[in-house]
Amino acid sequence: MHTSIRPLVESDAYTSVKWRNIPEIWNMTEYQPDRTVTLDDELAWIRKVLVDDSSRRFAIIVDAVYIGNIYLTGISNDMAEYHIFIGETAYWGKGIAKKASEILLSYAKNTLGLAKVFLRVHEKNEAAIALYKKLGFQKRSVNSNFVKMEISLRGY
């Protein structure tokens, strides 16, 4: 399977809106929808984030199929926060998140010149924590059931 990332575009909302309403995707995240997300909601969100200079938001593509999103947000002072989700559940557990993350971290270092990337993950999301450790993230703290992890990109 060929994995790549590309910048999000407005038309991605027509696919990603269905992912916003799959509880399994959000069970282990800090950011959970508090109601059913509509296409209008998703279009409004994507229009807003596409003009946010402090973030870089990408679609994850596998063999020409849009299957999820990966982001860097809050970019400042040589660091950013990492986010990822695979919306197409048939692609879970296939190593795609690792490959997409490697591409994003390389972009963070080589294109944006970032020195550090951090993330927050639910302490019970063992699969994600294992992935982040493989990528080189290290645990820094735990707060309200969420583990903060970070990676230095200097040696990446």
Give the residue numbers marked as catalytic: 132
Question: What is the average per-residue pLDDT within 62-71?
Answer: 97
pLDDT of residue 153: 96
**Range name among 2-6, 7-11, 124-128, 134-138 with the lowest pLDDT average:** 124-128
User: 153 near 115, Cβ under 8 Å?
Assistant: yes
Please tell me the predicted confidence (pLDDT) of residue 32.
67
What pLDDT does 33 receive? 67
Amino acid at 113: G
DSSP-derived letter for residue 53 is T
Are 74 and 54 contacting, i.e. CB atoms less than 8 angstroms apart? yes
φ and ψ at 85, to 5 degrees? Answer: -155, 140
Of 13-27, 100-114, 115-129, which range is least confident? 13-27
What lies within 8 Å, CB to CB, of 90 at 6+ separation is: none
How confident is the prediction for the chain on average, in pLDDT?
A: 92
> Of the ranges 19-23, 28-32, 80-84, 123-127, which one carries the lowest mean pLDDT score?
28-32
**Domain extents for the chain?**
3-152
How many other C-beta atoms can be found within 10 angstroms of the C-beta atom of residue 133?
13
pLDDT score at 20: 86
Mean pLDDT for the stretch of residues 119-133? 93
List the CATH code of the domain at 3-152: 3.40.630.30
20 vs 41, more confident: 41
- Percentage of the chain beyond pLDDT 70 is 95
Share of the chain above pLDDT 90, in %: 77
